Amino acid sequence: MTNTTATAPSSRSAVPKNRALGAVVQNVRELSVLPGLAIVIVVGALVSPAFLSAANLTLILRQSAELGIVVIGLTFILLTGKLDISLESTVGLAPMVAAWLVIPAAVGGLGTEIDPLLAILITLVIGAGIGLFNGFMVVKVKLDPFIVTLAMLILLRGITLGISQGKTLAGLPDAFRYIGSARWAGIPAAIWVTAILFVIAGLVLRYTSWGRALYAIGGNADAAKAAGIRVDFVLITAFVAASTLAAFAGLMLAGRLASVTSGMGENMIFSALAAAVIGGVQLTGGQGRIIGALMGVLLLGTLTNVLTLAGVPTFWINAVYGAVILIALLVGRFGSKPGLR
């Protein structure tokens, strides 16, 4: 009896210790991005004296804004252990349909010339609708999320090309372009908006039952359901939130470009996945924080800028992305060992 009593506290204390160790590992994985970011900054300063200028640093943040918003949505889905690779096509299709409805027929539009504010609402509704469809197919019909969203990626891209006939739709009204072209206090509004969305996402994941449910489902969906979590509802709303954010990112990108191109958003999902993985978001679900995703976005944005200043061709930049993802996976491997969650 004495031996049993003595060993019980030790056994119970093992779980908190493992959780604490897991939290430390998670922080280390996120903070491990900082040395990489510091190295890239030093290299950038050596490559070009213009790198550390306020204008160039603002450019990095501005060009990373749309990717950052897509990464927020993708993180919601990845935390549940699911995947949505159609987000990049939503970035292109949602603003394309809205632009098609808002601009005159003479410049490639349908000719309806609807109110720009209504066009913005339509952009977001299209994004939400795509997410609802994806979520329904994955959660209710029980189809594989990769296959479903791959099919949607191809389908949505085809619709975008069909609507635009492969052309660029320009002549967008000022209200439609505002969020992507305006400046607040001398800083692009897109940077402010993206920063606000990251803060909101962080608060949602940390302090709301919906955010905590994403982690619980990614950790063990059956256990989450047994605990009373509405697993199907949470999963579907995660897909809806992600696609709505992707549509908003497309709207912001259209404002920056002052047009909507038929290939807008193409290959963005690979950058988004890279940023999430680099930031410590586990593809298997249940682990990752929004601050880590943000760090991944900043690293990729800075790296792209440095390589561009150095005159590196685009296809080599893609190769570097692949190498960075592999390194991030190797680092993440040490944080996903049993007992450290």
Considering the domain boundaries, does residue 270 fall inside one?
yes
Residue pLDDT, tens place only, 309-320: 998 888 788 788
Contact between 305 and 60 (Cβ < 8 Å): yes
Residue pLDDT, tens place only, 73-118: 999 999 999 999 999 999 999 999 999 999 999 888 998 999 999 9
Q: How far apart are CA 171 and CA 253, in angstroms?
A: 15
Considering the domain boundaries, does residue 285 fall inside one?
yes
Domain hosting residue 208, numbered range: 31-333
Q: What is the pLDDT of residue 275?
A: 92
Question: Would you put residue 298 in left (φ > 0), alpha (ψ -120 to 50) or beta?
Answer: alpha
The number of domains in the chain is: 1
Q: What is the pLDDT of residue 316?
A: 85
Class of residue 245 by CB neighbours under 10 A (exposed 0-12, middle 13-18, buried 19+)? buried
Q: Which residue has the higher pLDDT, 239 or 341?
A: 239
Q: What is the CATH number of the domain that holds 144?
A: 1.10.3470
Residue 250 has pLDDT above 70, yes or no: yes
Q: What is the pLDDT of residue 332?
A: 61
Q: Which residue has the higher pLDDT, 334 or 258?
A: 258
Residue pLDDT, tens place only, 259-275: 999 999 998 998 999 89
Considering the domain boundaries, does residue 200 fall inside one?
yes
Considering the domain boundaries, does residue 12 fall inside one?
no
Q: What is the pLDDT of residue 106?
A: 87
Considering the domain boundaries, does residue 23 fall inside one?
no
Which residue from 254, 275, 285 is spatially nearest to 328, judged by alpha carbons? 275
Q: What is the pLDDT of residue 334?
A: 59
Q: Give the CA angle between residues 281, 189, 200 to the nearest 5°.
A: 40
User: Over the chain, what is the mean pLDDT?
Assistant: 88
111: CB partners within 8 A, 6+ apart = 104, 105
Considering the domain boundaries, does residue 24 fall inside one?
no
Q: What is the pLDDT of residue 36?
A: 84
Q: What is the pLDDT of residue 320?
A: 82
Question: Is this structure's pTM higher than 0.95?
Answer: no
Q: What is the pLDDT of residue 341?
A: 38
Secondary structure of residue 112 in the 3-state scheme: coil
Residue pLDDT, tens place only, 217-246: 999 999 999 999 999 999 999 999 999 999
Class of residue 258 by CB neighbours under 10 A (exposed 0-12, middle 13-18, buried 19+)? middle
Considering the domain boundaries, does residue 9 fall inside one?
no
Contact between 131 and 242 (Cβ < 8 Å): yes
Residue pLDDT, tens place only, 278-300: 888 988 899 999 999 999 999 99
Considering the domain boundaries, does residue 20 fall inside one?
no
Residue pLDDT, tens place only, 4-53: 444 444 444 444 444 444 444 555 566 678 888 899 999 999 999 999 99
